[in-house]
A and B are shown apart, each in its own frame.
Chain A
Amino acid sequence: MIGELALRFVLGGVIVSAFAVAGELFKPKTFAGLFGAAPSVAIATLLLAYWKKDATYVAVEARSMVVGAAALLVYSAACVATTQRRGLPVWLGAGLAWAAWGAAAFGVWGVLRLAGAVA
């Protein structure tokens, strides 16, 4: 387990850094910002899921990721709002917006589960 976590850490760090470098290469910032929502964690995790598990496991993770991506849209919109508030430090606003991500992700997930759309 420790070895696998270490592998995830290195793989995730490398892929996230690669997308961060790609983002630095472009302007304007609205375009560079696309790379803030790059599938960096997903590529590292799904690569290991294919290796250690099977396609069914990958499909379940990817299905949930659709909900997570919708929550990321909510999070990013919240960050636009918090970043424009001059009295609030950017790092604090972005940290507080994690609550919006959690509420959206688990809220939608809960509704889908109650509706029987997911197990």
Chain B
Amino acid sequence: MKPELQPEGLRKARPWEYVVRFLFGGVVTAATGAIAHGWGPAIGGLFLAFPAILPASLTLVEEHDGRAEAADDARGACLGSIGLAAFALLTWGAAGWPAAGVLAAATLVWLVVSTAAWAAWFGRRRRTGPARRSARRGAVAHRRPAALR
């Protein structure tokens, strides 16, 4: 399995869905600042990895593509969180560098580590692997009446 670009995916989402994500992201970022202000950077730092938009994303994925695809999205987030830990470790170790350099390098490390973790976990599977099979089950479930899901 290989990741593929699908620009048409942008057309699936309606404008209000991006507004929801903007609001979630804005509220969590502002709240994280308030927490750090009140309880200090050690507690505030925990919330830099708070699952801010994942609940909204999973709900929207389920609405568009079904429950099994939402579960796949969460599986991807598991691997992305490994990259997020690498982001934090690099920032911690290199905090004394210029801000733009640290954050750019850390973001690149997040992308590389996350993609490598994905390739190691899912890259060798064919599209008929376990994640695909559960997706097909979910597609069937998605067509059922809501009360039976």
Contacts and interface: CB of A to CB of B under 8 A. Distances in A.
- Chain B interface, DSSP helix/strand/loop, else mixed: helix
Nearest to A80: B74
Interface in B85-128: 85, 87-89, 91-92, 95-96, 99, 102-103, 106-107, 110, 114-115, 118, 122, 127
Given A30-B131, A70-B85, A71-B49, A41 B25 contact: yes
B45 A64 contact: yes
B58 interface: yes
A62 B45 contact: yes
Contacts, number: 331
Interface string A53-72: 10111111111111111111
Given A26-B3, A28-B131, A16 B26 contact: yes
B29 A12 contact: yes
A12 B107 contact: no
Contacts of A49: 36, 41
A24 B82 contact: no
Main secondary structure of the interface of A (DSSP, over half): helix
Contacts of B49: 41-42, 65, 68-69, 71-72, 105
Given A28-B131, A91-B55, A119-B42, A39 B106 contact: yes
Interface in B21-36: 21-30, 32-34, 36
Given A33-B80, A39-B107, A43-B103, A61 B48 contact: yes
Contact of B73 (A1, A32, A50, A62): A32
B47 A68 contact: yes
Interface of B: 1, 3-7, 9-10, 12-13, 18, 21-30, 32-34, 36-37, 40-55, 57-59, 61-62, 65, 67, 69-85, 87-89, 91-92, 95-96, 99, 102-103, 106-107, 110, 114-115, 118, 122, 127, 131, 134-135, 141, 149
Give 4 nearest A-B pairs by CB, closest first: A33-B76, A12-B29, A16-B25, A64-B45
